[in-house]
């Protein structure tokens, strides 16, 4: 345990320098996703666009959003120092039980609401009591810098992740044992986002650059198609009959229903996280690069005001 603490301390000390280097690389067109967290909080904060944002965070960065699987009005927000929770669908927020960890990604299976996962920089935590308490999850992953992480809504034990520089891995036992699978052809760049189908835990989506790759066999084989245009930062799959895709980009929020359409949201900068309710597929929550929170109750056609 002492050795693990020393390793984590060294990783934390290196992180700031590493992010600055990656930021320069992003300007040159490489490894954009890894630099984005630095960009988001270094660019400063301005007021939310009038009439759309429900709330504006002042945390160091803005990573992830997830709806509670049993309460459509409860939403979780992950940032550099843990979790915050809203019980009024995004209008107000309080600190949640998980703190002092970099919660880049959240997984909250709909058919096992007591089980939740949080992953990020040197972070892999699990809760088995609905988020009241958290513990580190023992695992055999080759690394714990987990920028991309997703889980099946219907199988609480099926997880997918991309440890930085180590390919795509999947677990069938809730994250203890992992098996390496395959990346889509040409996926030299680190994937930005993963999402799992609400209907089938073997169907996984992976976004990298401007493309979305889909696998129906846990990542063994892939088919790719273009996204809506531009770099895809975040990806979510709706629990509806068509399994509608939502993606956040530098240009805004898009929805795929046969073809891509840009939704009537005017974020301040990139859309960095999007969450969809399992119980109400039309309820969408979004956060932008300035920490503004938005909510739609009609699949993104209109957006709630304060």
Measure the N-to-C terminal CA separation of the chain; round to a whole number of Å.
Answer: 47
Give 158-215 pLDDT, tens digit per residue. Answer: 999 999 889 999 999 999 999 999 999 876 666 679 999 999 999 999 998 789 999 9
Burial pattern 148-186, b for ≥16 Cβ within 10 A else e, equals bbbbbbbbbbbbbbbbeeeebbbbbebbeebeebebbee
Confidence check: pLDDT of 82 > 90? yes
Identify the architecture of domain 51-296 in CATH: 7 Propeller (2.130)
Sorted by where each begins, the domain ranges of the chain are 51-296
pLDDT at 23 over 70: no
pLDDT range class, residue 258, cuts 50, 70, 90: confident
The predicted model scores a pTM of 0.84
Q: How far apart are CA 236 and CA 49, in angstroms?
A: 24
Average pLDDT over residues 66-74: 96
């Amino acid at each position: 345990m002492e050795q693990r603490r020393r390793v984590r301390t060294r990783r934390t000390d290196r992180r700031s320098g590493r992010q600055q280097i990656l930021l320069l690389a992003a300007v040159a067109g490489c490894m954009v996703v890894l630099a984005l967290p630095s960009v988001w909080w270094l660019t400063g904060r301005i007021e939310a666009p009038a009439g759309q944002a429900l709330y504006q965070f002042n945390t160091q960065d803005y990573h992830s959003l997830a709806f509670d699987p049993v309460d459509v009005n409860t939403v979780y927000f992950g940032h550099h120092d843990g979790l915050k929770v809203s019980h009024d669908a995004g209008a107000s927020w309080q600190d949640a039980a998980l703190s002092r960890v970099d919660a880049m990604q959240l997984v909250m299976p709909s058919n096992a609401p007591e089980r939740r996962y949080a992953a990020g920089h040197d972070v892999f935590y699990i809760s088995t009591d609905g988020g009241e308490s958290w513990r580190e999850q023992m695992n055999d992953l080759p690394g714990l810098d987990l920028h991309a992480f997703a889980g099946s809504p219907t199988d609480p034990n099926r997880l997918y992740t991309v440890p930085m520089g180590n390919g795509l891995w999947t677990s069938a036992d809730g994250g203890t044992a992992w098996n390496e699978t395959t990346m889509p052809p040409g996926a030299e760049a680190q994937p930005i986002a993963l999402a799992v189908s609400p209907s089938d835990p073997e169907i996984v989506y992976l976004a990298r650059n401007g493309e979305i790759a889909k696998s129906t066999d846990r990542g063994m084989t892939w088919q790719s198609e273009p996204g809506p245009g531009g770099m895809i930062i975040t990806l979510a799959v709706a629990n509806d009959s068509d399994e509608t895709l939502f993606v956040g980009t530098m240009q805004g929020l898009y929805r795929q229903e046969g073809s891509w359409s840009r939704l009537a949201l005017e974020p301040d900068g990139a859309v960095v996280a999007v969450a969809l309710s399992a119980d109400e597929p039309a309820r969408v929550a979004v956060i932008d690069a300035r920490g503004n929170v938005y909510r739609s109750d009609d699949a993104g056609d209109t957006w709630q005001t304060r």
